[in-house]
Structure 1
Amino acid sequence: MRSLRLLSLSACVVAALAAGCKSETAPPAASADPAPAAAAQPAGAQWDAAVDGFLQGFFEHFPVAGANAGKHEFDGRLPDYSPEGLQRNIQWLHQQRDAINAFGDDRLTAPQRYQRDYVRAVIDGQLFWLEDSGFASKNPAFYAGDLSPSMYLTRPYAPLPQRMAAFVSYQDNLPKAAEQIRANLKGPLPASYIELGTMVFGGFAEFFKNDVPKAFAEVKDEALQARFKASNAKAIEAMQGLSDYLAAQKPQATQDFALGAEKFSKMLKATEGVDLPLDQLKAAGEADLERNLAALKAACDQYAKGRPIVECIEKANADKPRGGAVEGAREQLAGLRQFIVDKDLVSIPGTEQALVEEAPPFNRNNFAYIEIPGPYEKNLPSVYYIAPPDPKWPKAEQDAYVPGKADLLFTSAHEVWPGHFLQFLHANRSQWKFAQLFVGYAYAEGWAHYTEEMMFDAGLDGAGPEIHIGQLTNALLRNVRYLSAIGLHTGGMTVAQSEQMFKDKAFQDPGNARQQAARGTYDPAYLNYTLGKLMIMQLREDWTAGHGGRGGWKAFHDQFLSYGGPPIPLVYGQMMNVPAQAKLWTAPKPAAAPAPAANTALPPATGSPDKAAPKSAM
């Protein structure tokens, strides 16, 4: 499930923040002194001016991020993907980092020191994707976010003719962007990257040809329609040409996608502030996987006693939502919101609701995601998108791709109530604009994934075994993502091995297993769902220990959501009043049976006393 705002740090849409732009005039160079003209101002005023300056410069360097945030003076602009354009952004970010670091602890209040660390973390994340990942030269995911036209078509921020004019400008800029992307994506490329690129860019071409003209058909401006028709033809040709170029690379395809242990660790430190040994990270993921597998076995023993776990899950998934996944999700949202209110789990600021729609053809590489308007927009809807199965799949695989009602319930919880949508209702009300704009991958996805288990623990839909199976199958999917990311990028795991693990441990159907394994190659940070959840669960345990235990959940949730979306270790430091740190939750082990009294005679031993309990059937 994709992270939301294109200003999030999700690696799925990393291009939305990590690519260059072409400005009409060169952006002003940053100074080592963040506010040289305001040297006489108090340090606090200088700090505020420095952050405001960073935001303005950021939008100039990354105009798609500006447009998606609701700064529509940047509409239609696409980045300059040339090596020179990318290097300009790297240089600017380094200048900004130096300027931010010039604010020493002695110049700032405690809240401002936290803000400084937040800004620096965002810069470090951007620099990793631009400088260290190598994605600009081989990974189509680096570009996909910026090229998405969804904002102009699905977000009613202006009258349709105005959005059409912006879309025409966007189409006008696509051929040059495609040419630069083609020059950057030098073969040989990993097979999964080629498949992603052909699907995404080919999907754009198909969408521009078949769907976009219908979206603007009612606009009566003949001159604008003529401009649209001309730019549309060139956009289709550019995107199809890029797709065909990548398809032609298939004979030379490689499996050279791994970041390597050193770079993977640097990714976690730079993007999420997590500086833990890989063996510790892997052990935490394996422990959570085994915890959830054991819980699934227990739930299946109640729901489908005597049947293998695979058949148990099939039984639960056979209970399909009425009218399909989109209609089913629409029915679920009202009940999820009411459950939050009835149980008083977390505050709901505002009265906004999320719509549910079928995902557009160019963005169906994952089952569900939500698009939420940026913080500069006003009174616009958010849309929870659900992808249909690929019509080229066999009928049985298409049917299996549509989740059962219980599975879909926790997808809806993740995307809307109380997951991503509620989190951004809180973030958009932050008093600090920077916190509204920059929401990290582990924060957003960790919160959304955390809420699934939290809602089950609170008794969602009676919390019976079928409901538990829905929650656990979602959790196991994220467990295997976590372990696949580490394995694929640091442990020599093959795509086929990852795909098999999704089938064996997360019980995914063949279509989803293929998608998920491939995603791990081009989205190495998709471990952040479980990583973020484990950090939040540990923070909840530590914080509520001094704030009423279980009775402190609502206060914990409200305070956690008040920070916007920084790296979770920064939030841990703020809420616990300690230095920032990454702590992963691990489930307490079951208490050992009490030892018999010394004078009690023991029965004769039978069987093997050291035999482990049987593992879940696969």
Structure 2
Amino acid sequence: MTRRFTLFCITTLSLMALIGQPAVRADEPNKAFAAFVDEYFDAYFAWKPSDATAAGLHQYDGKLEDSSKEAYLLRIEKVKALQARLAQLQQGSLSFDEKIDAEMLDHLMKAELHDLVTIGTWKRNPMGYISGPASSIDNLMKRSFAPPAERLKSVISRLKAVPAVQTSMKANLINPPREFTDLAIRMGEGSIGFFKDDVYNWAKEAAGNNTALLKEFETANAAVIKSFEESASWLKKDLLPTTKPNQFAIGKDKFAKQLLFEEMVDIPLDKLLAIGEANLKKDYDKFVATAKKIDPTKTPAEVMKLLSDKHPTEEDLIPAGKRTIEKIRKFLIDKKIVTIPSEVRPTIMETPPYARDGGFASMDTPGAYETKATEAFYYITPPEKDWDAKRKEEHLRLFNFPVLEVVTIHEAFPGHYIQFLYAKQYPTKTRKLTYSNSNVEGWAHYGEQMMLEEGYGEGDPKIQLAQLSEALLRDCRFVVGIRMHTLGMTLEDGTKYFQEKGFQEHSTAFEEARRGAYNPTYLYYTLGKLQIYKLREEYRKLKGNAFSLEEFHNTFVKQGGLPIKLIRRIMLPGDTGPSL
């Protein structure tokens, strides 16, 4: 799952409505807080209309984000005003659930301001300007929440606003790191083909016999293609030569605050790094011992290569992913791991070109308020067509058959797809529409290890090695993210670290290290997993003989994607202990 937070809502509230509100009992809904939540999300949708579409709220389908400098400055002031209002409400009487939601929203706004003001991602990373418009169009195309012709009208409306986004990118960017620009070029060139082929073919079918509608689309789409061609050329010929490598680090203070605001984790960075390195050593030692079970005559790296020798072909990659679903789903049911509230399966397909930001697989699900379009997409990233044979081979090795099963556990069962299936049961609007990565990615990563502990794979050391390979990958992210952004580790050093400590092929190691350049706190996979294991043991002690793994999992996923610190307050009444 790639989105850090997804936010949505409906109504507005005037400032005066919050002034002089009478106190309410803590067990009664606070109308002023409920109205604030509405206004907060309404303001967010005005800022990010594409996220409204993703949420299943379609009154914003014809709008696209305003990426101008002026819009960013207005958003900053709006968030500051909302933040002050929330602080006033928190001084009043709120119910338990309202206090949880208020703290979530408070941290969410702090995280947004940290990103907009302190880090300034909109001024240093071109990737969002490239991927955002294509994603907004794709969300209208791929989910059938309205008749195709009606959705095409919204597509056209958004297409007309895309060239302005590309203009804003050129005006806003100031000295972006080379690593960000390289990825933006790849994504931009992929987006050209997306608009020329995928969008055009869909629109032609959606228009049917309405030649006027198709012509309007063709005019708007041609302008988008031209703007992306110009952007790709500008990024490659004008911007890239001015960029410098290894200028991505945000520093210790910014890193610590990002982690605090997004994940509610305030562990000192030196202690956090020690935790990550210790967990990596533990998994590394297990990896070495497991590799010896498979072939004691070979090094661990050679044994991993034996596994990765058996991988899908480029043509069979998506079909191979599809073949993993039923076996894993059946195991969940037979072993009572977690209740599956739906018979619907995810759709497995290639990651869209505009979204190929260095990740290898992801889950794209409809929002909690979507009532008609239920399609969830399990994306697997294929090799790029212009890669040479060696790089393609290295990429496909990552999807060797045992690892592909573990990837499906992470993305689908019991990972992100299960979280999606429970989304409509989340108890509040805020929890339906926001999440933290340490929860959602931590849960999916926890699922990989937990499934094998519960017997998946029947003790096959190859499956165990695959799971440990994925664990080492996340452990390396933990360490590399901290070291690259706070201790001067270079991209080259990070790549080497993934190769040596994570047994990754060079091309995979490079992609992983480069991701850490623009995603500093991608330690949240291992961080969240460790927090969930700690919570589980304390929940087990609380429940005693009544403890059930299935009940624990059901209870956990029903709370939504709150940071584990807040989940602990819900599941461990009166808890004040550390989450890790």
Q: 1:281 aligns with which of 272, 275, 288?
A: 272
8 Å Cα contact 2:426/2:560 also seen in 1: yes
* Structure 2 residue aligned with 1:21: none
8 Å Cα contact 1:453/1:471 also seen in 2: yes
Deviation of the 1:216 alpha carbon: 2.0
8 Å Cα contact 1:105/1:113 also seen in 2: no
* Structure 1 residue aligned with 2:579: 583
Deviation of the 1:416 alpha carbon: 0.5
* Structure 2 residue aligned with 1:501: 497
Equivalent residue of 1:577, what SS? coil
Q: 2:122 aligns with which of 136, 140, 155?
A: 136
8 Å Cα contact 2:482/2:521 also seen in 1: no
* Structure 1 residue aligned with 2:321: 329
Equivalent residue of 1:369, what SS? strand
Q: 1:171 aligns with which of 156, 159, 162?
A: 159
Mapped partners of 2:143, 2:96: distance in 1? 39
* Structure 2 residue aligned with 1:388: 382
* Structure 2 residue aligned with 1:552: 548
Kindly indicate whether residue 211 of structure 2 is the aligned counterpart of residue 222 of structure 1.
yes
Deviation of the 1:424 alpha carbon: 1.8
Deviation of the 1:60 alpha carbon: 2.1
Residues 582 and 157 from structure 1, CA distance in 2 versus in 1: closer, same or farther, beyond 3 angstroms? farther
Kindly indicate whether residue 367 of structure 2 is the aligned counterpart of residue 347 of structure 1.
no
Q: 1:461 aligns with which of 437, 457, 470?
A: 457
Q: Which runs of 5+ in 1 are unaligned?
A: 10-15, 19-26, 585-618
Mapped partners of 2:400, 2:216: distance in 1? 46
Mapped partners of 2:443, 2:546: distance in 1? 18
Residues 417 and 238 from structure 1, CA distance in 2 versus in 1: closer, same or farther, beyond 3 angstroms? same
Mapped partners of 2:322, 2:140: distance in 1? 24
* Structure 1 residue aligned with 2:525: 529
8 Å Cα contact 1:481/1:526 also seen in 2: yes
* Structure 2 residue aligned with 1:152: 140
Equivalent residue of 1:434, what SS? helix
Q: What is the identity, as a one-letter code, of the residue corresponding to 1:394? A: D
Q: What is the identity, as a one-letter code, of the residue corresponding to 2:361? A: A
Mapped partners of 1:17, 1:436: distance in 2? 9
Q: 1:290 aligns with which of 281, 301, 305?
A: 281
* Structure 1 residue aligned with 2:69: 83
Equivalent residue of 2:425, what SS? coil
Residues 551 and 294 from structure 1, CA distance in 2 versus in 1: closer, same or farther, beyond 3 angstroms? farther
Q: What is the identity, as a one-letter code, of the residue corresponding to 2:571? A: M
Mapped partners of 2:497, 2:540: distance in 1? 35
Mapped partners of 1:429, 1:144: distance in 2? 34
Mapped partners of 1:574, 1:462: distance in 2? 35
* Structure 1 residue aligned with 2:348: 356
Q: 1:209 aligns with which of 178, 196, 201?
A: 196
Q: 1:234 aligns with which of 223, 227, 231?
A: 223
Equivalent residue of 1:384, what SS? strand
Deviation of the 1:146 alpha carbon: 3.0
Of residues 541-550 and 551-560 in structure 1, the stretch that sits farther from structure 2 once superposed is 541-550
Kindly indicate whether residue 174 of structure 2 is the aligned counterpart of residue 186 of structure 1.
yes
8 Å Cα contact 2:23/2:93 also seen in 1: no
8 Å Cα contact 1:39/1:46 also seen in 2: no
* Structure 2 residue aligned with 1:252: 242
* Structure 2 residue aligned with 1:422: 418
Deviation of the 1:36 alpha carbon: 4.3
Mapped partners of 1:125, 1:351: distance in 2? 37
Equivalent residue of 2:462, what SS? helix
Deviation of the 1:225 alpha carbon: 0.8
Residues 582 and 184 from structure 1, CA distance in 2 versus in 1: closer, same or farther, beyond 3 angstroms? farther
Kindly indicate whether residue 43 of structure 2 is the aligned counterpart of residue 57 of structure 1.
yes
Mapped partners of 2:23, 2:572: distance in 1? 35
Deviation of the 1:297 alpha carbon: 1.0
* Structure 2 residue aligned with 1:310: 301
Deviation of the 1:362 alpha carbon: 1.8
8 Å Cα contact 2:436/2:563 also seen in 1: yes
Equivalent residue of 1:459, what SS? coil
Q: What is the identity, as a one-letter code, of the residue corresponding to 1:370? A: M
Q: State the aligned residue count.
A: 564
Mapped partners of 1:92, 1:552: distance in 2? 45
Mapped partners of 2:65, 2:330: distance in 1? 43
Q: For 1:401-427, what per-residue CA distance to the aligned partner results, in whole angstroms no more than 9, with x for missing partners?
A: 221111000110100000001012122
Structure having the larger proportion of residues in helix: 2
8 Å Cα contact 1:535/1:582 also seen in 2: no
Mapped partners of 1:229, 1:581: distance in 2? 59
**RMSD (CA atoms):** 2.2
Equivalent residue of 2:523, what SS? helix
Deviation of the 1:129 alpha carbon: 1.6
8 Å Cα contact 1:359/1:385 also seen in 2: yes
Q: For 1:443-495, what per-residue CA distance to the aligned partner results, in whole angstroms no more than 9, with x for missing partners?
A: 11111111100111111121310010110111111111111110110010000
Equivalent residue of 2:379, what SS? strand
Deviation of the 1:581 alpha carbon: 5.8
Q: What is the identity, as a one-letter code, of the residue corresponding to 1:345? A: I
Q: 2:428 aligns with which of 412, 428, 432?
A: 432
8 Å Cα contact 1:478/1:530 also seen in 2: yes
Residues 556 and 205 from structure 1, CA distance in 2 versus in 1: closer, same or farther, beyond 3 angstroms? same
Equivalent residue of 2:42, what SS? helix
Highest CA radius of gyration, 1 or 2? 1
* Structure 2 residue aligned with 1:70: 56
8 Å Cα contact 2:131/2:187 also seen in 1: no
Q: What is the identity, as a one-letter code, of the residue corresponding to 2:144? A: P
Mapped partners of 1:524, 1:533: distance in 2? 18
Mapped partners of 1:533, 1:202: distance in 2? 36
Mapped partners of 2:7, 2:23: distance in 1? 34
Kindly indicate whether residue 258 of structure 2 is the aligned counterpart of residue 267 of structure 1.
yes
Residues 507 and 54 from structure 1, CA distance in 2 versus in 1: closer, same or farther, beyond 3 angstroms? same
8 Å Cα contact 1:389/1:401 also seen in 2: yes
* Structure 2 residue aligned with 1:372: 365
Q: What is the identity, as a one-letter code, of the residue corresponding to 1:135? A: T
TM (norm. structure 1) is 0.87
Q: 1:484 aligns with which of 473, 480, 497?
A: 480
Equivalent residue of 2:561, what SS? coil
Mapped partners of 1:157, 1:487: distance in 2? 45
Deviation of the 1:29 alpha carbon: 8.0
8 Å Cα contact 1:476/1:506 also seen in 2: yes
Matches within 5 A, 1:85-104: 85-104=71-90
Mapped partners of 1:486, 1:286: distance in 2? 11
Mapped partners of 1:357, 1:558: distance in 2? 28
Residues 549 and 496 from structure 1, CA distance in 2 versus in 1: closer, same or farther, beyond 3 angstroms? farther
8 Å Cα contact 1:171/1:231 also seen in 2: yes
Q: Which runs of 5+ in 2 are unaligned?
A: none
* Structure 2 residue aligned with 1:571: 567
Q: What is the identity, as a one-letter code, of the residue corresponding to 1:533? A: K
Equivalent residue of 2:324, what SS? helix
